[in-house]
Amino acid sequence: MAQLPILRYPDPRLHTVARPVERFDEDLRRLVADMFETMYAAHGIGLAATQVDRHVRVVVIDVSEERNQPLVLVNPDIVWMSPERVRSDEGCLSVPGIYDGVERAQAVRVEAHDAEGQRRTIEAEGLLAVCIQHELDHLLGKVFVEYLSPLKRNRIKAKLLKQQREEERERREPVRA
């Protein structure tokens, strides 16, 4: 297993629409394992393949406190959303340090495959439902900040670009003793 680099907003690759997985093979299982390792190392609860620059319809999630309930969704589709809505602060591994309120369906039903190709239906509510919707947005090339006002989105973009420039400058500058 290996940790994968996570793309950071406003990287344009985050807006790539993922294509369906066609082969349930060792490469897919390796991607899933690497995505879990990456997500756990980054202290996240969900990760879409798009975020690690793999543009296939794969999501990994674990919202458990103990980090022992891994969920794999391959080629997921939301087939039902509750009319009840919930607004909660969302964060994203691709938008580090930024949290803001997003409104989503309180509950969802998702049809997907697991990493072995077995079809499954998942009913989720609360945090798991929000996480599923957030990660499936990534597969459509959408980042949660796009739900925010243009003013907030531009401030976030400017802040993250400044952070990235500072990090690049630190990497280039020689260490002085």
**Exposed/middle/buried for 125, CB within 10 Å: 0-12, 13-18, 19+?**
middle
Convert the pLDDT of each residue in 108-158 to its tens digit.
999 999 999 999 999 999 999 999 999 999 999 999 999 999 999 999 999
Binning pLDDT at 50, 70 and 90, where does residue 175 land? low
Convert the pLDDT of each residue in 28-46 to its tens digit.
999 999 999 999 999 999 9
Please check whether residue 72 is in contact with residue 60, taking contact to mean a CB–CB distance below 8 angstroms: yes
pTM of the model: 0.94
Find the catalytic residue in 26, 90, 135, 167.
Answer: 135
**Exposed/middle/buried for 168, CB within 10 Å: 0-12, 13-18, 19+?**
exposed
Q: Determine the pLDDT at residue 171.
A: 86
Convert the pLDDT of each residue in 63-100 to its tens digit.
999 999 999 999 999 999 999 999 999 999 999 999 99
State the binding site for Fe cation. Answer: 92, 134, 138
Q: Determine the pLDDT at residue 151.
A: 96
Q: What's the 3-state SS for 97-129?
A: EEEEEEEEECEEEEEEECCCCCEEEEEEEHHHH
135 catalytic per annotation: yes
Q: Which CATH architecture best describes the domain 12-172? A: Alpha-Beta Complex (3.90)
Mean pLDDT computed over every residue of the chain: 96
State the binding site. Answer: 92, 134, 138
Q: Determine the pLDDT at residue 176.
A: 64
Where in the chain are the domains? 12-172
